[in-house]
Structure 1
Amino acid sequence: MLYPELFKSMEAVRWNMDTDIPWDDFDAAKLSDEQAYTIKMNAITEWAALPATEMFLRDNRGDSDFCAFMSIWFFEEQKHSLALIEYLRRFRPELVPSEEELHKVRFDFDPAPALETLMLHFCGEVRLNHWYRRASEWHTEPVIKAIYRIISQDEARHAGAYLRYMKRALVSRGSDWARQARLAFSKIGVLMASAHRTPQALHPTNLHVNKSLYPDDTVQCRLPTPGWLENWLDNQICFDNVWENKVSSRILHNLSLLMDSTFDTVQDLNRYRKSLLREAPALA
């Protein structure tokens, strides 16, 4: 089981919201209305860990080890939301999300293949780590800069944990399962490492997840300002091609190590995916 080791390692670096965030360093002159509003949107987005956890527990009922890890992931993701809300409560109380606004992002996700979802969330954590690092650079107020820096480190650790479960999938249940895992990881990897070619931000909270609710079935479209994410990325934190390439490179690097291959480009990964289909067309 991976859960006991992951629990121990993450417990050792867990931060305390009262003592590890420099609340006393707040400088009101360095927080604009524009910046404060984006904090509210991120606080609500992080709250969506609740329906994501419900999805993971439902779709991984046969994997108690992974479901136990969800207790860590869920706690830490909700803690991110709580830290951002606490910042607003202290310094911009008029922007604290209402319970109704938070509850609106809790809705059912359609069942999905567990391996694809695992890879999707690994990529999502890699991307979020980079988004928050960039957000920390964009903000000018010292306390929120520190909060984004702290939670970005959590997201990196979450990506590492998901990667551990991806590695386990390649060795735990025989060759057929390993081939399915390789195909699932490469398929989602091609998508998520190609964000610079798509108009939308490729993150789990920005993807459609419930056919019966379409098009009102992404987390982002249920926020008070549905189009805030693209504006935040393009015009505020300026998450440009340089940063997108950092995300893609990180995904490709980890998949190279995972698959014992070399993927310098998305095209390399796509060729690998196609080779898997040629070897076992039934997996398609």
Structure 2
Amino acid sequence: MNGMLYPELYKSLESVRWDMDKDIPWDTFDPALLSDEQAMTVKMNAITEWAALPATEMFLRDNRHDSDFSAFISVWFFEEQKHSLVLMEYLRRFKPEFVPTEAELHAVRFPFDPAPPLETLMLHFCGEIRLNHWYRCAADWHTEPVIKQIYNTISRDEARHGGAYLRYMKRAMTQTGDVARAAFAKIGVLMASARRTEKPLHPTNLHVNREMFPNDTVQSRLPDPEWLEHWLDDQIRFDTTWEQKVVERILHNLSVLFEQPFATVQELNRYRKLAVQRLQAASLDVEDGVQPA
């Protein structure tokens, strides 16, 4: 189909799709291994996953020029909402008093300001990598077998989503060259520098609506806006070892994408500066009437 990625990505994601009834071992639930504290973290993650709804609205709005990518978002949206659903189903079966209300879910549906599509693509690529590691860490923290299986299952989905985004990033580089390189490197430097920031760097924790500031992050609209840091730092213990795994995956994938090895964020930042310099030089050449080679 004229080089479109959506048909192939649909087929590959469909081939490994898990079934909520058949692939989650509901009958192995052990009530002694699920506390109210743990159930609350499942609730918060269910609400956070529901934020794929406003993210999808953003993707479709900002990618009206790209029907191939917009079609892929139909699969991404379906699978992300399924993550929210399976977490809620877990609570419905075993801790019904913790099931999110419709109002709590709807609170995270709010408009995101328009943003550069390539930077948003890279942001979500890094977000999938980070979420894959958060969920794997959460699976290690939990001892109750059903929720362990759920987190391991949805973490694999997040990894596959990251791989799909990477395909679109490769296509963007073919189409726009240094414009894409500069955008991807810029966000890569930001997202691989989480240890230098106070808050966890993930799309759900970034400000996205100036008029609604400071209540314009997904996390700020949860029943407990401070939940994410508490979950990461005090509960699942997403420590520097885990964080380093995230950084290494981002740098590894960008090394493959840019066909140049990056061992550190600093090396990636130098690459970003060179891409920006080339763009500036090309812009000056065009202004002077010289067409870039």
Q: If the length of structure 1 is used for normalisation, what is the TM-score?
A: 0.97
Say whether 1:148 aligns with 2:163. no
CA distance in 2, matches of 1:248, 1:186: 13
Match of 1:57 among 45, 60, 78: 60
CA distance in 1, matches of 2:114, 2:104: 24
| Other-structure match for 2:17 | 14
CA distance in 2, matches of 1:277, 1:118: 18
Shift of 1:169: 0.4
Post-superposition CA distance 1:235-272 (Å, at most 9, x none): 11100010000000000000011011111000000011
The correspondence of residues 29-48 of structure 1 with structure 2, limited to 5 A, is: 29-48=32-51
CA distance in 1, matches of 2:177, 2:52: 28
CA distance in 2, matches of 1:240, 1:281: 39
| Other-structure match for 2:226 | 227
Post-superposition CA distance 1:60-95 (Å, at most 9, x none): 001000000011000000000000000000000000
Say whether 1:129 aligns with 2:128. no
The unaligned stretches of length 5 or more in structure 1 are: none
CA distance in 2, matches of 1:33, 1:145: 16
| Other-structure match for 1:4 | 7
| Other-structure match for 1:263 | 262
The correspondence of residues 237-252 of structure 1 with structure 2, limited to 5 A, is: 237-252=236-251
The unaligned stretches of length 5 or more in structure 2 are: 284-293
Shift of 1:36: 0.7
Match of 1:117 among 113, 116, 120: 120
Q: Which amino acid in structure 2 is aligned with residue 116 of structure 1?
A: E
Post-superposition CA distance 1:184-224 (Å, at most 9, x none): 00000000001111110000000000000000100000000
SS in 2 for 1:280: helix
Q: Which amino acid in structure 2 is aligned with residue 121 of structure 1?
A: H
The correspondence of residues 78-89 of structure 1 with structure 2, limited to 5 A, is: 78-89=81-92
CA distance in 2, matches of 1:113, 1:106: 20
| Other-structure match for 2:288 | none
Q: Percent identity?
A: 73
Q: CA RMSD in A?
A: 0.8
Match of 1:94 among 67, 92, 97: 97
Say whether 1:74 aligns with 2:77. yes
Are the counterparts in 1 of residues 54 and 110 from structure 2 also a CA contact under 8 Å?
A: yes
CA distance in 2, matches of 1:196, 1:154: 25
Are the counterparts in 1 of residues 178 and 278 from structure 2 also a CA contact under 8 Å?
A: no
Post-superposition CA distance 1:18-77 (Å, at most 9, x none): 010000000000001111100000000000000000000000001000000011000000
CA distance in 2, matches of 1:149, 1:275: 39
Shift of 1:280: 2.3
In the alignment of these two chains, the number of paired residues is: 279
